[in-house]
Amino acid sequence: MSIEVRVPTLGESVTEATVATWFKKPGDAVAVDEMLCELETDKVTVEVPSPAAGVMGEIVAAEGETVGVDALLATIVAGEGAAPEPTAAAPAPATTHAASGGSIDVMVPTLGESVTEATVSTWFKQVGDSVAQDEMLCELETDKVSVEVPAPTSGVLAEIVAPEGATVDAAARLAVISGAAAGAAPASKAAPTTPAATESSGKDIANAPSAEKAMAEAGLSPDQVSGTGRDGRIMKEDVARAVATASAPAPAAEAPAPAAQAPRAPVAAEDASREERVRMTRLRQTIAKRLKDAQNTAAILTTYNEVDMTEVMALRSQYKDQFEKKHGVRLGFMSFFTKACCHALKEVPEVNAEIDGTDIVYKNFVHMGVAAGTPQGLVVPVIRDADSLSFAEIEKAIAEKGKRARDGKLSMAEMQGGTFTISNGGVYGSLMSSPILNPPQSGILGMHKIQERPMVINGEIKIRPMMYLALSYDHRIVDGKGAVTFLVRVKEALEDPRRLLMDL
C-alpha cells in the first residue's frame, strides 16, 4: 500500500516552505517517525517524520522546491520491503475502469478552521491534458495557507469550472476529470465530434442537470444566467450567483465599495524613476491583515507608567558573577520582568484570560511569550509555566529559546499557547511605544530603554535609571482599574525586588 507524505501544519500565517534536505532516497528502508526531510520557512525549520514503516517510494518535491501546506512531498510503500508495491498497484485497472465509465469532480479540499473561501491562483494543467492520480492540478490561496489540489484519479482534465482568479467557497467544484490515463486517446478523439454535436443538438454542452433544476426552481431562463463552465456551460454555482444578484441587487452594488482603496497620489516624474515597487509576499500580506484584524476585533487600549530600575540594577550587579558561576547562565533583566508579571497576573487574572465567544477563559497558569528579533523577523517563543520557574530556570529558558530562534530551529509548538507576552523594544533604543496585542491574548507588556533622568526623591532631585512601561490590553475583558493595578504591581515589584521573595 502506498502512503502519502505531506507537508505538515507550518503554523499560523505561514503558507509555504522550502525543501532544504532529504535524508532518504527512493528505495531506502524507513521506520515509523524516522526523519525523511527538513523544511525551512521564514520563521522555523520543520522536520518531517515518516508516517509509517516501509520503503521510500517517489520523491515528489525535490530539494530547493517551494511547497504549500498539505502539499505532497513523497510516497512510502508500506511494509518491510518493496514487494507489496505490485499488489498496491493491482487495483489500478479497476480504478481506471471505474473512472472511464464517467466523470469525477475535483472539489475544494479542506481549507482549515475558520477559512471559508479561497482564490484559484494557478492551474498547472489545461483542458485536454492527461493527469495522473495525485498529480497537482492547481493551487489555491487563502488568507492563511496556500493549498495544492491533487488529482483524485488518473484521466483527462475535461473541464475547468473555476478559472484562475476565481474565488471559490469551501465546498465548490474546481474541475472535472473524465476517463482514465488509458482513455486519454479516446477522449481526444471524441473532442472533434463536440462541435458537430453542438450544432445538431447541443447535448455535449448542455447545462449541468443540477443547474437546470436550480433554474427551474428559481424561475430563471438560461439567458438570465452567465455560465462559467466549459463553452459557457451553466453550473449550479452560476445559478446561485444569479439568484443572489436578483434578490439582493442593492448590497451587490454596494459590496465593492469597502474593498476599494484610495488611488495612490501622483508621483513626480523625476521621482518615479527612483522608486522600486516590490510585491508583498503572501506571508507579509497575511501578517498585515492579522495585525489589522487584531485592531479591528479587540478594543485595544494602552496605559503607561515608569519604573525606577535602581534596585534591580544594584541586585543584578551584586550577584551576577555568583549567579553565572552557579547556574551557568547570565542574570539579565528579563527574569525580573517575567517574575514581576507573573506576580501581577495572580492579582489581576483577567489580563491573563481570553475571550471565547460569550465566555471568558481564565488561565490558572502563565505561559509567557517573549518576543525575540531574528534575521528572519520577529518571533515569540513561549516559556511554559513561567510562574513556577526560578530566576535561573527562566534565564536558561530565555537563552535557549533565543539561540534556537536565531538559528531558525524553533518549532511551531514552541511559539503557540502563550497567555501573556513581554516585548522589549528597549534593546533597539525605543524610549516609548504602544505594543499591539497578540490574539487571543488580552495583554502585552512593552519594555523600553533605560535612561537616566532627574527625579524628585524625598524632596531632592536625583539622577535615576528610569524605564517607561506600556501595557496594551483588551478593554472588552480588562477594565481600566485592572490594567492600572497590574502595571503598578509590576512597578512595585521591580522597584523593590524583595516583594517577589515575600510574595507581596
Cα-based angle 487, 362, 295 (whole degrees, multiple of 5): 65
What phi and psi, each to the nearest 5 degrees, are found at residue 403? -65, -45
**Selected catalytic residue, list 105, 169, 231, 475:** 475
In sequence order, which residues have a C-beta less than 8 Å from that of residue 140 and are 6 or more positions away?
A: 108, 111, 118, 119, 120, 121, 146, 147, 148, 149, 168
Strands 420-424 and 368-370: parallel
What phi and psi, each to the nearest 5 degrees, are found at residue 136? -70, 125
First to last CA, the chain: 63
479 is catalytic: yes
In sequence order, which residues have a C-beta less than 8 Å from that of residue 51 and are 6 or more positions away?
A: 3, 5, 32, 76
E-state strands within 2-83? 2-6, 16-22, 29-30, 35-40, 45-49, 54-59, 66-68, 72-78
In sequence order, which residues have a C-beta less than 8 Å from that of residue 182 and are 6 or more positions away?
A: 96, 100
**Selected catalytic residue, list 97, 474, 479, 496:** 479
In sequence order, which residues have a C-beta less than 8 Å from that of residue 128 and are 6 or more positions away?
A: 156, 157, 187, 188, 191
Task: Give Dmax over CA atoms of the chain in angstroms.
Answer: 102
DSSP string, 103-163: EEEEE-----TT--EEEEEEESS-TT-EE-TT-EEEEEE-SS-EEEEE-SSSEEEEEESS-
Position of cell 465599495?
257
In sequence order, which residues have a C-beta less than 8 Å from that of residue 198 and are 6 or more positions away?
A: 204, 205, 231
343 is catalytic: no
Give me 301's grid cell.
487600549
- 440 preceded by a cis bond (ω within 30 of 0): yes
DSSP state of 348: S
Neighbours of 314 (CB within 10 A): 12
What is the spatial distance between Cα 229 and Cα 237, in angstroms, rounded to a whole number? 10
Q: What is the distance, to the nearest Å, from the Cα of residue 14 to the centroid of all Cα atoms in its chain?
A: 4
What phi and psi, each to the nearest 5 degrees, are found at residue 481? -60, -45
E-state strands within 211-361? 300-308, 354-356, 359-361
Catalytic residue numbers, as ranges:
475, 479
